[in-house]
Structure 1
Amino acid sequence: MTAPLDVPESTTQTLAPVAGPGAVAGRSPWQIAWTRLKRDKVALAGGVVVLLLVLVALCAPLIVRLLGHPPLEFHYEKVDPDLQVPTGRFGGMDGEFLFGAEPVNGRDIFSRIVYGSRISLLIAFLATVLSTVLGTVAGVTAGYFGGWVDTLISRIMDVFLAFPILLFAIALAGVVPDQAFGLQGDTLRILLIVFITGFVNWPYIGRIVRGQALALREREFVDAARSMGASTPRILVTEMLPNLFAPILVYTTLLIPTNILFEAALSFLGVGVRPPTPTWGGMLSDATHWYQIAPHFMLWPGLAIFVTVLAFNLFGDGLRDALDPRSR
């Protein structure tokens, strides 16, 4: 009989996994997206500007109290009585009037720009929320059910996309009186513009969500949930929507600057928020009569719109690249 081999005791022991400094730690998709976003300095700069704009809009009364004058207060002493333009260099810009004064009445442009940011951002955010909710519900419903439901919703989207949105907004905003539905003044005009902007823009995000939903409904995890007896509302809420959150978030950030421009266009045409409430579009409209002799009056509201739209677009582009799983 052959004697058993003597096996060293050290070779029979199970080797435990060693967690050294080179071990790879798992990361969630959101951690990966944040890492990518941090590497995009341009997108981060746009995000910082967006945060600053939101803070300016929220703290407008405090900022104006410290650095400016009430936006509706007249300062005729700042205006030349003969030429009706602000006295001094650069439109009256000094330590008291940071952006100068308006022609004719001498109102503080800085204060009106700050308060105008509240109107623009409020309308843009509320309209974007309305568009996102309507577009997401319509897109998920069309993409998941398919068939005649998809055909009906898609044709409704095509009708809205072919509709002349600006003409519809001008007509509707122009015929609504100053008091309706128990509302009046700025509240009525803001809610009316939010309804118009949000209601006509939902097909854009609806088509994107529909396309993503068409692909998701064929995925294995949806089939698994369906085979386990999950109801349709549960599948839509717990399986579909979490996987649609990234494209919805990206398109939302890109839709906000579009709504800002749309509100500015309505105010510029005189069917937005009524004067004397300061809006960037309304200030641009007033400045068209003075751009030759008081160019600063047009510069500041135009620059405010440009910086705001650019910041949102840069941040939205960076967010899209960060959340794209196919990006590097």
Structure 2
Amino acid sequence: MTAPLDATESAQHAEPEAITQGVRDIASRSLTQIAWQRLRRDKVALGGGVVVVLLILVAIFAPLLTHWFGYPPNEFHQDLINPSTQGVLGDDPNDPFSTDKMGGISWEHLLGLEPVNGRDLFSRIVYGAQISLLIAFLSTILCVIIGTVLGITAGYFGGVVDTVISRTMDIFLAFPLLLFAIALAGVIPDGAFGLTDNGLRVSVLIFIIGFFSWPYIGRIVRGQTLTLKEREFVEAARSLGAGTGHILFREILPNLVAPILVYATLLIPTNILFEAALSFLGVGINPPTPTWGGMLSNSLDYYTQAPHFVIIPGLAIFVTVLAFNLFGDGLRDAFDPRSSD
């Protein structure tokens, strides 16, 4: 009779220990670890993240890729263009897989050729990724810096400071950004501030997108700061004599990293589309520098003769924006404190 009692007592002692160990395991995980575990279970978000990483690598190693698999993006191949139709020359008009019907797609030209001038589409798509991602990333960084500084200032200090910054946000949100960008890009001189041609245009586009988009993230940061400054850990830091700088940068700002990171990943595709729209309208990057929007604009006259000229840059924009959106949605769910483990 004593053996079952001993087993029962052992089980009763073991159960609280197991619960305590489980609580310790949960408590030992940081927010980053919890978010990573949630993100790993979201296969769609991980797929978007993989595509984003691949796009970044393609943009970084564009010269190497075009050296291995293509040609310089502005190199003409007029010997492959039919002078009468301005389309790609075909080997056999009765062959449905002839190079003219396939847009010149071959082992030498993986994505085919542009009509009229015969430039390699693979090289231009790869180099176009450089422009799109460069403008999108740098303008997003500028937007995050301005929005975070002004948002946390408005939310923490309140009063007149909050009123002035909030009304400034409202003015910027009501500003016709696209019309302003078209007007400003149309009057950009050939050189200024030590920059010339497309270097100046890239800088101006980064400034326009970043400077006029900060209210979106500024409102999010302000709202989060209004909540965080009333939390117990901020009150504890204030009661221990911590200054304003310590509270802002050591207590509040680390708790804003997650929402800022999530919104930044969702803002990047918006900036990619904005740059593509400006290039499509002819007020973005000057040719012959390849951009996805500019390639779409040039393809409108040849969509019946060379449909691949429209489809390929359109797919590049679509896949890039979709990948960033899927990854951003996954990050948002991963950092959401209401999400279940």
* Pairwise TM-score range, normalised by the shorter structure: over 0.9
Find 1:260's aligned residue among 268, 272, 279: 272
| C-alpha separation in 2, matches of 1:85 and 1:74 | 13
Correspondence for 1:222? 234
1:59 aligns with 2:61: yes
Find 2:311's aligned residue among 283, 292, 299: 299
Correspondence for 1:76? 78
| C-alpha separation in 2, matches of 1:79 and 1:323 | 53
CA apart distance, 1:100: 0.6
CA apart distance, 1:17: 12
1:322 aligns with 2:330: no
Correspondence for 2:95? none
Q: 1:1-328 to 2 correspondence within 5 Å?
A: 23-24=21-22, 25=25, 26-87=28-89, 88=99, 89-328=101-340
Correspondence for 2:4? none
Residue identity opposite 2:134 in structure 1:
L
Residue identity opposite 1:99 in structure 2:
L
Residue identity opposite 2:200 in structure 1:
L
CA apart distance, 1:234: 1.3
CA apart distance, 1:23: 3.8
| C-alpha separation in 2, matches of 1:233 and 1:86 | 64
State the SS of the aligned residue for 2:332.
Answer: helix
| C-alpha separation in 1, matches of 2:114 and 2:79 | 12
Q: Classify 1:16/1:326 alpha carbon distance in 2 versus 1 (closer, same or farther; 3 Å).
A: closer
Write out per-residue CA displacement over residues 63-88 of structure 1, whole angstroms, 9 at most, x where no aligned residue.
00000000010001221110001122
Structure 2 unpaired stretches of 5+: 1-12, 90-98
| C-alpha separation in 2, matches of 1:185 and 1:162 | 31
| C-alpha separation in 1, matches of 2:124 and 2:246 | 48
| C-alpha separation in 2, matches of 1:76 and 1:283 | 18
Q: TM-score, normalised by structure 2?
A: 0.90
State the SS of the aligned residue for 2:118.
Answer: coil
| C-alpha separation in 2, matches of 1:316 and 1:16 | 43
Correspondence for 1:10? none
| C-alpha separation in 2, matches of 1:56 and 1:166 | 29
CA apart distance, 1:168: 0.5
Residue identity opposite 1:173 in structure 2:
A
| C-alpha separation in 2, matches of 1:19 and 1:193 | 60
Q: Classify 1:81/1:213 alpha carbon distance in 2 versus 1 (closer, same or farther; 3 Å).
A: same
| C-alpha separation in 2, matches of 1:269 and 1:231 | 50
| C-alpha separation in 1, matches of 2:88 and 2:155 | 58
Correspondence for 2:9? none
| C-alpha separation in 2, matches of 1:23 and 1:161 | 50
Write out per-residue CA displacement over residues 265-313 of structure 1, whole angstroms, 9 at most, x where no aligned residue.
0111111110000000000110011112111101111000000000000
Write out per-residue CA displacement over residues 212-243 of structure 1, whole angstroms, 9 at most, x where no aligned residue.
00001111111111111111111100011000
CA apart distance, 1:178: 1.5
| C-alpha separation in 1, matches of 2:63 and 2:272 | 21
Correspondence for 1:5? none
| C-alpha separation in 1, matches of 2:198 and 2:163 | 39
Structure 1 unpaired stretches of 5+: 1-14
| C-alpha separation in 1, matches of 2:278 and 2:246 | 41
Residue identity opposite 2:71 in structure 1:
H
Residue identity opposite 1:50 in structure 2:
V
Give the % identical residues.
67
| C-alpha separation in 2, matches of 1:252 and 1:216 | 20
Residue identity opposite 2:171 in structure 1:
V
